[in-house]
Amino acid sequence: MPPQQAPVIGKASRRSWLVWFTAALVYLLSVFHRTSFGVAGLAAADRFGVGAAALGTFTVLQVGVYAAMQIPTGVLVDRYGPRKVLVAALLFLGLGQILLALAHSYGLGLLARGVLGFGDALTFVSVLRLVAAHFPGRQYSVVTSFTTALGYVGNLAATVPLTFLLAGPGWLPTFLGAGLLTALYAGFVAARVKDTPSGQVAKAAPVDRRRLGREIRSAWRVPGTRLGFWVHFSTMFAPNVLTLLWGVPFLVEGQGLTAASASALLTVFVFGSMIGGPVVGALIGARPGLRMPLVGGYLGGAALVWALLLGWPGSIPVAVLVPCFAFLSLGGPASMIAFALARDYNPLRRVGTATGVVNVGGFVATTVTALAVGVLLQVTGGNFRLALLAVVVVLALGTFRMLVWWRRARAELFAAQARGEQVPVQVRRRLWDVPEHRELPVAA
């Protein structure tokens, strides 16, 4: 969710850069903890003695908590300031990993991942609020991209390095050490991070729950918000499902690779996102009209990639897996287009709420798909080709709903252009657009 706070005027100081770096490391840690189950899934299945469906519940719970907390997190940041929320995030992240390190029962393991998901949900919006407060508007996008890049470093650390740690020192020392270091870092953040360059924090008024509810409903009624929701839903869930949980099991149990080789292959998602993010950002910044064509191109390509992966006879060669994973990794950068839609189609006072609504989309899709894959693996006796059809079904659903709301958002643009209003993208009527005399219901 983008911050509501107005950026400072002038040049960012050295202290502001230190504040940002200190806070961005929190985001790095949160991404590491979030994606650590991507390579620890098989070890968790052995440790807790559970099958595929129960294993999928770990990610479902974690991502579900993250999704549910997106809008409340924005409220917490507004009410208490980003520094306090970041400190709380680190404490919850550390507690979650410590509980996971000590857990021997399935129930305690689930609790640990739920606590971790809660801490993870508090991080990104807090960092963005700090960026908005400490940097002028012209640097906001650049510093935000640096933040995202550091997050990918955390993702990278949760692949090959974590695999070797789990194979060497083992489960308890690895996760206990990560949890303790994370919790200890909270003290450093509390001492070094300032909400504003002056160190002053404006006292926020108590949250009006009725007004907040009205703002959420108003944002949801906007076709551009609904379009952003389905863009986010469709583009980011498949890479998440593979990197958060099912990538390593698919490659090890379904394709016969070693755990080290499988985790190394998952780094393709990291590097693909790191390279693709700035490219997509530059394209849509220079030419906003390319936003939806890029989304459509990605979704069409993703459908072809999944058809290739699930239809390949026998084991899939690494030479095929690498380019397929590289293309799927672009789902993360493509999902950022959803936030631009939320920003453009909502008034400034409601942009934060609209972005929170949009951000829920991809995590809902991830939650549903991760659970569905686990259930199908359980039912089919570990047949990954059949289980991963759940990804195709969710992709088809998301693409269809995205096309519906793309059409309706375009109709809104035509109406605004006819009234002489300023619109984010100039569009020309096509054969598939709504006829001029017809209006589609917004709440459908």
Quick check: 50 pLDDT over 90?
no
Q: Assess contact for 359 and 227: CB atoms under 8 A.
A: no
114 and 164 assigned to the same domain: yes
Lowest-confidence pick of 171-180, 196-205, 311-320: 196-205
Residue 90 pLDDT: 96
What is the CATH classification number for the domain harbouring 80? 1.20.1250.20
Q: Per the domain annotation, does 428 fall within a domain?
A: no
Q: Per the domain annotation, does 97 fall within a domain?
A: yes
CA distance 45 to 52: 8
State the pLDDT confidence band at 354, using cuts at 50, 70 and 90.
confident
Average pLDDT over residues 253-273: 87
pTM: 0.76
155 and 230 assigned to the same domain: no
283 and 312 assigned to the same domain: yes
Average pLDDT over residues 181-195: 93
Residue type, 58: F
Q: Per the domain annotation, does 306 fall within a domain?
A: yes
In the chain, how many domains are there?
2
Q: Per the domain annotation, does 100 fall within a domain?
A: yes
Hey, is 440 helix, strand or coil? coil
Tens of pLDDT, residues 384-394: 999 999 999 99
Count Cβ atoms below 10 Å from residue 74 Cβ, excluding itself.
Answer: 25
Q: Per the domain annotation, does 430 fall within a domain?
A: no
CA distance 323 to 315: 16
Residue 198 pLDDT: 72
CA distance 439 to 428: 17
Q: Which helix (H) or strand (E) holds 442?
A: none
Q: Assess contact for 401 and 383: CB atoms under 8 A.
A: no
State the pLDDT confidence band at 372, using cuts at 50, 70 and 90.
very high
279/138: higher pLDDT: 279
State the pLDDT confidence band at 200, using cuts at 50, 70 and 90.
low
State the pLDDT confidence band at 437, using cuts at 50, 70 and 90.
very low
Q: Which domain holds residue 371?
A: 215-417
284 and 141 assigned to the same domain: no
38 and 119 assigned to the same domain: yes
219 and 192 assigned to the same domain: no
State the pLDDT confidence band at 418, using cuts at 50, 70 and 90.
low
**Average per-residue pLDDT in the chain?**
83
48 and 164 assigned to the same domain: yes
CA distance 360 to 355: 9
Torsion of CA 228, 127, 287, 276, to 10 degrees: -90
123 and 238 assigned to the same domain: no
State the pLDDT confidence band at 296, using cuts at 50, 70 and 90.
very high
Q: Per the domain annotation, does 422 fall within a domain?
A: no
Q: Is the dihedral of CA 6, 283, 1, 150 positive or negative?
A: negative
Q: Which helix (H) or strand (E) holds 155?
A: helix 137-157
182 and 230 assigned to the same domain: no
Tens of pLDDT, residues 68-121: 887 787 777 777 888 999 999 999 999 999 999 999 999 999 999 999 999 999
246 and 162 assigned to the same domain: no
From 140, 166, 196, give the residue that closes a domain.
196
